[in-house]
Structure 1
Amino acid sequence: MELAVKTLAGKAAGNITLDDAIFGIAEIRKDLLHRTVRWQLAKRQAGTHKTQTRSEVSVTTKKSIRQKGSGGARHGSRNAPIFVGGGVAHGPRVRSHAHDLPKKVRKLALAHALSSKVVADSILVIDAATLTAPKTKELAAHFASLGIENALIISGITVDENFAKAARNIPNVDVLPVAGLNVYDILRRKTLVITKEAAEGIQARFDGTLAQPAIAAEAE
């Protein structure tokens, strides 16, 4: 597959050939995308929800009513779940929401996510994502010339500091290194913008030769 390459100024900068196995999948499997997004969001969930049981609440342990003669049930302390201010029965506990997902599924889902942008004609290749100074106004003008309003930008192995500082003040624009490429961020933005270096990095990532595999694993 061959796509045109543009500069940040919107000028033509040649063409680039992309792997059809990564960017040329015609039939997008939404089930793979759904499973991977669920896996990502579950993994990032804090899981710090917690309620106090009857042994953890701080209430008086004095017997609330006499044992006999009240005409009601026999109760001890007020920490039982049936009382206001008492403990919670079967409430949420601190736990991890993460679950396993095979690497083959994650890898295939990433290829389907990338291909979905090609199918939707929502992918743009630029020669480089660099700026001489961290000026948001200048970068916003470049984005306007390219028609970028809501996008994920994959810069390469590393992110240019000036570009990152300028882009962080623009709403609906995310900038990530190639090692941080993931299904959720691809799908949540309308346009996928990759540099020529990022295209090579994506190919290396699928081939297993990415220079920073530890970062890639952490990003997933």
Structure 2
Amino acid sequence: MELAINGSANTLSVSDEVFGRQFSQDLVHQVVVAYRNAGRAGTKAQKTRSEVNGTTKKSKKQKGGGARHGALTAPIFVGGGVTFAAKPRSFEQKVNRKMYRAAMKAILSELARQDRLTVVDTFDVEATSTKSLISKLQGLNVGTRPLIVTEDASEHLYLSARNLRYVQVRDVQGLDPASLVGADTVVITAEAVKKIEEWLA
């Protein structure tokens, strides 16, 4: 399989196994959800009626006062406990390595089929300059949510993209399925493509 290199008459030969795989929506959905869930803190905590600070003494006599109630720590009272109180938990879902790599291949292949994968020889900025980065991206026509993938993203590139709300920068080691799926266009260097092939082969 051949990928066109932007701004060059040359093409980049890539593996059909990595960039020509059939898309599996169910697999990609499962892996993306698992990836996002792994980033959740899971620290939400609420108190049950037994944990609320307050007396458990019966609030009023049983008869003659209308509705019958016990302690004011009951969930029906303001300041009382929560009926099904949230407790700290882990949202982690198990995804084995074979599934993760298959999903990454499926996403990259679909991006290539939809012409949302722009291969360039190199991509960097000489100094930290958001203006320079904007100029480079405008020349590539990458939409409003581009993802820049390089073999080893420089600090200048990271800092230049920091003030751009929808522009993301990743190196090959930091590439993840959620950022690939959420990008309008993926701008990737030829060297990064080769490293991804070695990783996913």
TM-score, reference length from structure 1: 0.83
1:28 aligns with 2:26: no
Report deviation, 1:81. Answer: 2.2
Inter-partner Cα distance in structure 2 for 1:79 and 1:170: 49
Task: Return the letter of the residue paired with 2:136.
Answer: H
State the superposition RMSD in angstroms: 1.8
2:71 to 71, 77, 84: 77
Task: Return the letter of the residue paired with 1:50.
Answer: A
1:112 aligns with 2:106: yes
1:40 aligns with 2:30: no
After superposition, the Cα gap between the structure-2 partners of 1:115 and 1:70, relative to the gap in structure 1 and judged at 3 Å, is same
- In structure 2, what is the equivalent of residue 2 of structure 1? 2
- In structure 1, what is the equivalent of residue 52 of structure 2? 57
Contiguous gaps of at least 5 residues in structure 2: none
Where does 1:34-183 land on structure 2 (aligned, <5 Å)? 34-68=29-63, 70=65, 72-73=67-68, 75-149=69-143, 150-156=145-151, 158-183=152-177
Contiguous gaps of at least 5 residues in structure 1: 208-220
Report deviation, 1:109. Answer: 0.5
After superposition, what is the alpha-carbon deviation per residue over 1:124-166, rounded to whole angstroms, capped at 9, x for unaligned? Answer: 111122221112212211111111232111111x211112211
Inter-partner Cα distance in structure 2 for 1:152 and 1:39: 21
After superposition, what is the alpha-carbon deviation per residue over 1:82-137, rounded to whole angstroms, capped at 9, x for unaligned? Answer: 33321112222110111112221111010000001011011111112222111221
Inter-partner Cα distance in structure 2 for 1:171 and 1:51: 34
- Aligned partner of residue 10 in structure 2, secondary structure: strand
Percent identity, please. 36
Report deviation, 1:174. Answer: 0.6
2:183 to 181, 189, 214: 189
Inter-partner Cα distance in structure 1 for 2:2 and 2:133: 26
Inter-partner Cα distance in structure 2 for 1:155 and 1:43: 25
Contact 2:3-2:119 at 8 Å conserved across structures: yes
Task: Return the letter of the residue paired with 2:19.
Answer: F
1:19 to 3, 15, 25: 15
The worse-fitting range, judged by mean Cα deviation, of 11-20 and 141-150 is 11-20
Contact 1:13-1:127 at 8 Å conserved across structures: no
Contact 2:142-2:184 at 8 Å conserved across structures: no
Contact 2:2-2:11 at 8 Å conserved across structures: yes
